[in-house]
Structure 1
Amino acid sequence: MDHLACFTPGDLQSARAPDLSSYHWRLLAQGDSWFSNATAKLNAHANLLQELVLKEKACVVNCAGTGEALAHMVDLESAPDFVRLLSSPEAPVWDGVLLSVGGNDLIAAAQTPAHTADGKEVPLHLRLLRRQTEWGPPSAGVARYFSEPGWATYADYLRSNVRHLLTLRDQGPSAAKPVFMHCYAVPMPRPAGSEDGGLGSSGPWLYPALKAYALPGADWAAISRLMVFHLAQLLKAMAADKAQFPGLHVFDSTAVPLALATPGSSGNSGDWHNEIHLNHSGSFKIARAWSEHIQNVLAPPAPVGKQR
């Protein structure tokens, strides 16, 4: 098993550009902070791409860049390299596309306040959490705090953007090639922001949102789990819909056992560097499991009885 050779779009245009043809598999990547190339983030908590391993020599051109802010789903105007390398007629033929998207939009939706700065109420279909006067019955469990109308808005947004990405793929030389997405792990809401300094959105992220909505602290872990599992079910349903999302493959990261962070902790804890980013051990666990999923799509194992 070999680690992927990781390059950037800038590497392809340099005087010492890598020879992509020397690799058995060539992959293109775009994503959020779980794929970030920012040096401070790599030193602090690595990224999933660094820990992927495949049975054949492979490389990835990572367009996630070194941006300090949390990336949203399809901010393609700020990702011209990715669009060009994916959809241009002159782009390489990629064996697959790796995407780490949707998680930061989920966090942004959870952070949406119940009222605007001038005191106007934000309607339920534009936020994920409910004010105390809007809570459902106790029999609903933590779902009583969750805005299903807001979730429907988020789900529509995610579906339309992933369809757009698949359309871009099919406009270029890599039409119909597999697109790999991962789900997210369940974070523990806690006062643990970035300790790296100058990383843009430095957090914490969920912790202040749940406090602002005055949700019971004893339910925070379950609320986080509810939101992340909703996202996982949405992504897996999209991958199962081959008509609307052809060639989409989703890996369920929620099934990978991770060491939870200690509630109330403010630093590195369990498999987590901070509230929403994995540390090196967490990245290793998720990436190695995802590697097997990717490997089985790129090179399906021979059926039983057909192996030599």
Structure 2
Amino acid sequence: MTSVVITGSRYLVRPEQADQFGPFEKTFLAEGDSWMDASAAVQGSLPYYLAEEFNRRGKTHLIINISTSGQTLQRISATMSGDYLWWLKQLRYDAVLLSAGGNDFIDAARDEAAGEGLLRDMQGQPLPADGYECVRQEALRSLVDGFLNPNFAAMYDALRASSRNAGTPLLLNCYDTPVARNAPAIPGLVGPWLWTAYRSNHIDPSLWPSLTQGLFRDIKAAVEGWAIGRTGVELMPTTGVLTPASPDATGSSGDWKNEIHPNARGWRKQASIWADRLA
């Protein structure tokens, strides 16, 4: 017997590929972005290393993974009639593992025209004392209050309305703070993310560390807000865990594989924290 992580689509077609290793002590549903995505072979993902950690501890658990690289909370909520809602009806889970919100912040910083997204266009502007002054506060409020909070509420309400999982704990990834640097996941195709956003908005590199710290404080605050007044929602203490990368490194550095994803050493640190809670 061993712990297994398998995508939802694969489990539907070939359940024996996982079930042969059972019976399982616990079953978990993983949803969210690339930090959860089992198909993220280039940089790894939490469920893969979580299963590895379970095996190291002699546990036999099943993780059904329906997450997708690049997924935003807005898209997860908009497609709840798809995988998420369907899987809530199929099995009783010991916990739902969710990583969401980070991509929404990054997309808001990177994908809009200069000065029209989460960041101010600093071209021709005086250098502020703190990089966080480059954040457009009205855009931040709109992102959190207008998109993230209602979309999380929809996910939470769907979980609590599920006959099988009305009392299932929902565990939230709080990420960790990366270093903005030119370290893509796939050069020329995927990433870098913050590095691109900062350059597009003409933000001086001297401001990047304090800006990144501020943005990830905002991400953590948003995620922490989702737990307020909601039963069974827990925050995973994953911030301040990873060794930062060198700002000049274009590949794996510290505990980071690329700009915003951990490497194997980093994933193992994160997985140990999750495994302690899921025990």
Band of TM-score, shorter chain? 0.7 to 0.9
Matched residue, 1:31: 32
Contact 2:35 2:261 in 1 (8 A): yes
Letter in 1 for 2:148: L
Matched residue, 1:251: 236
Please state if 1:181 is matched with 2:184: no
Letter in 2 for 1:181: L
Determine the C-alpha separation between the residues in 2 that align with 1:269 and 1:3.
31
Matched residue, 2:47: 49
Please state if 1:192 is matched with 2:191: no
Deviations 1:134-164 (A, max 9, x none): 979946x223111111111121211111111
- TM-score w.r.t. structure 2 length? 0.85
Deviates more, 1:145-154 or 1:13-22: 13-22
Contact 2:45 2:267 in 1 (8 A): yes
CA shift in 2, pair 1:4/1:105, >3 Å: farther
Matches within 5 A, 1:154-169: 154-156=143-145, 157-169=147-159
Matched residue, 1:100: 99
Contact 1:30 1:64 in 2 (8 A): yes
Matches within 5 A, 1:158-307: 158-172=148-162, 173-195=164-186, 202-239=190-227, 241-242=228-229, 245-256=230-241, 258-295=242-279
Contact 2:4 2:62 in 1 (8 A): yes
Matched residue, 1:299: none
Report the structure number with the largest CA radius of gyration. 1
Determine the C-alpha separation between the residues in 1 that align with 2:127 and 2:192.
29
Determine the C-alpha separation between the residues in 1 that align with 2:15 and 2:233.
35
Letter in 2 for 1:61: I
C-alpha displacement at 1:7, in angstroms?
Answer: 2.0
Contact 1:114 1:130 in 2 (8 A): no
Letter in 2 for 1:277: H
Letter in 1 for 2:29: L
Contact 2:122 2:202 in 1 (8 A): yes
Letter in 1 for 2:34: S
Determine the C-alpha separation between the residues in 1 that align with 2:15 and 2:243.
44
Paired residue for 2:120, among 98, 123, 130? 130
C-alpha displacement at 1:63, in angstroms?
Answer: 0.8
Contact 1:191 1:265 in 2 (8 A): yes
Matched residue, 2:136: 147
Counting matched residue pairs gives 268
Q: Equivalent residue of 2:278, what SS?
A: helix
Determine the C-alpha separation between the residues in 2 that align with 1:74 and 1:145.
24
C-alpha displacement at 1:31, in angstroms?
Answer: 1.4
- TM-score w.r.t. structure 1 length? 0.78
Determine the C-alpha separation between the residues in 1 that align with 2:238 and 2:140.
20
Contact 2:2 2:22 in 1 (8 A): no
Identity of aligned residues (%): 26
Contact 1:129 1:147 in 2 (8 A): yes
C-alpha displacement at 1:168, in angstroms?
Answer: 1.4
CA shift in 2, pair 1:137/1:271, >3 Å: closer
Contact 2:101 2:223 in 1 (8 A): no
Deviations 1:49-76 (A, max 9, x none): 12224565321111125xxx51111424
Determine the C-alpha separation between the residues in 2 that align with 1:84 and 1:228.
32
Q: Equivalent residue of 1:26, what SS?
A: strand
Deviations 1:96-140 (A, max 9, x none): 10111111111101114445xxxxx73xxxx2211237979946x
- Runs of 5+ in structure 1 lacking a partner? 116-120, 296-308
Q: CA RMSD in A?
A: 2.7
CA shift in 2, pair 1:31/1:168, >3 Å: same
CA shift in 2, pair 1:131/1:48, >3 Å: same
Letter in 2 for 1:189: A
Determine the C-alpha separation between the residues in 1 that align with 2:46 and 2:196.
27
